[in-house]
A and B are shown apart, each in its own frame.
Chain A
């Protein structure tokens, strides 16, 4: 997957975690927490969704890498580079 695909994967996960949230104007360099109401339960869900869909294991001490869209994408790039992009 390339960066663009990974971004879409994260958007899809966020849409599932918060179906009532408008994600169209999400800013990639601003922390998720500042743009949407996400608490620690929700962060756990992002991690588990990634495990569920792509079998990526993210250790607890690395959760902080998922702070914004751009940091999440760069963190996942090497881990998902061999995964087929979703159709």
Chain B
């Protein structure tokens, strides 16, 4: 019977990246994925003859070809991939749109700086001081003491509107916690969105995932789909084997799980629900509209619009099924693809209440989706041209869909509030990577897999 060096639970971005590292250095490694396809929170699907991405709005941390520093180039080096394997095309321009005030930004930080000088002239020096704090902070330290980003930012910036407008995109794209973020997470998101910026491959997330799988397999890694892990067996504080959904057993020296911390602990035999860490609760609904024209034909040129319609921006679990007061409008067409054109698309994301979505009766679920979808668009068209008469197809997914396809409790997107930065668990050879380790998003998830593989699974020969 084969005994692997490492079995990885989950073929999402973190699991695949970790798998490449291990396979490259000749470890015998197998990735087990419960779903019928790869990608996890950032997968892809085909519906009514159209290709859709699950997650991808924008890849953050953009760097142009030839850049030698920063997370994107670090990650490509570590995975022995070339810049061309992701073929990222930069965004056009994005905005943060609040009542009476809009800030524009793109992948050149100067635009945001000049926007803030223009619209918040009194905050100019304060903003510079905040930038100094951001630049001085070591956000990637694996043992840093959590501090409140709200407190630090409010200490520098005295206009609450500007504070909220800075937090809005950073929270939407990477806060596992309601209302506030840890300062390190704030810094990671600030750099990845405002300093580095957005990009997307024309082919969507498929291209990134295919490059990862090709690399993993060419190095001898094994990938098994439809292979959910039901139980992790252990003896004397060490994991010894995994039992799959079909009852078969796989032996391994180490396990690296991207399923989430609460989700992974629940797989361990002998662990009760009470021992398990609390899963996160921040989740979203996503609506995807296919159009009979390009968004630009309607006068919409922005890549991403982060909007909020209330005096104070709220980022928490709404009391109703969705929070329609704020959201993200993404137009995947509005990246600089050269002359390649795809069908017009608008995607809108809004905060959602996982409990309410999980508990709708099957017979009400479709109707609720329709009705919330309509309310979300009604709210969003205050910030983008009214595209409703151009819609030729609509799809929508909810926390219920996310839980069904990724196993994340609550359909949680950014993991538990409590991160486990060093990836350790109660078993000495069971480690965590992915959202609950703490680096979030597409680039973050891959870096998470790489970091934990390097830290725990590669140093021993």
Contacts and interface: CB of A to CB of B under 8 A. Distances in A.
Given A16-B80, A18-B77, A48-B458, A37 B66 contact: no
Interface string B48-76: 00000000000000000110110001101
Contact of A51 (B68, B78, B80, B461): B461
Contacts, number: 37
A17 B83 CA distance: 13
Residue of A16, A36, A37, A52 contacting most chain B CB atoms (<10 Å): A37
B388 interface: no
Interface string A41-65: 1101100100110000100000000
B461 A20 contact: no
A11 B74 CA distance: 19
A52 B21 CA distance: 13
A28 interface: no
Interface in B16-49: 25-26
A52 B27 CA distance: 10
Contact of B77 (A17, A48, A52): A17
B80 A48 contact: no
Contacts of A20: 65-66, 68, 73, 76, 82-83
A17 to B, nearest CB: 6
A34 interface: no
Interface in A14-44: 16-21, 36-37, 39, 41-42, 44
A21 B26 contact: no
Interface in B314-332: none
B78 A41 contact: yes
Contact of B454 (A16, A37, A44, A57): A44
Contacts of A45: 77-78
Residue of A16, A19, A21, A57 contacting most chain B CB atoms (<10 Å): A19
Interface residues of A, number: 17
A51 B450 CA distance: 19
A41 B80 contact: no
A41 B454 contact: yes
A84 to B, nearest CB: 20
Residue of A20, A21, A37, A57 contacting most chain B CB atoms (<10 Å): A20
A16 B25 CA distance: 13
Nearest to A18: B77
Contacts of A39: 74
Interface in B411-461: 450, 454, 458, 461
B72 to A, nearest CB: 11
Contacts of A42: 77
A42 B88 CA distance: 23
A37 B461 CA distance: 27
A38 B144 CA distance: 24
A41 B74 contact: yes
A41 B65 CA distance: 20
A20 B65 CA distance: 9
Contacts of A21: 68
Contact of A52 (B26, B74, B78): B26
B105 to A, nearest CB: 26
Contacts of A41: 74, 77-78, 450, 454
B454 A19 contact: no
Nearest to A19: B82
B136 to A, nearest CB: 18
A19 B80 contact: yes
A78 B454 CA distance: 28
B352 to A, nearest CB: 37
A52 B22 CA distance: 12
A37 B73 contact: yes
A36 B80 contact: no
A45 B461 CA distance: 13
A53 B83 CA distance: 25
A36 B77 CA distance: 12
A17 B25 CA distance: 13
A37 B80 contact: no
Interface of A: 16-21, 36-37, 39, 41-42, 44-45, 48, 51-52, 57
16 contacts: A16-B80, A19-B80, A19-B82, A20-B66, A20-B73, A20-B83, A36-B68, A41-B74, A41-B77, A41-B78, A41-B450, A42-B77, A44-B458, A45-B78, A52-B26, A57-B461
Interface of B: 25-26, 65-66, 68-69, 73-74, 76-78, 80, 82-83, 450, 454, 458, 461
Given A21-B68, A48-B458, 11 more contacts: A17-B80, A20-B65, A20-B68, A20-B82, A41-B74, A41-B77, A41-B78, A41-B454, A48-B25, A51-B461, A52-B25
9 smallest A-B Cβ distances: which pairs?
A37-B68, A37-B69, A19-B82, A18-B77, A48-B25, A17-B77, A52-B25, A52-B26, A20-B83
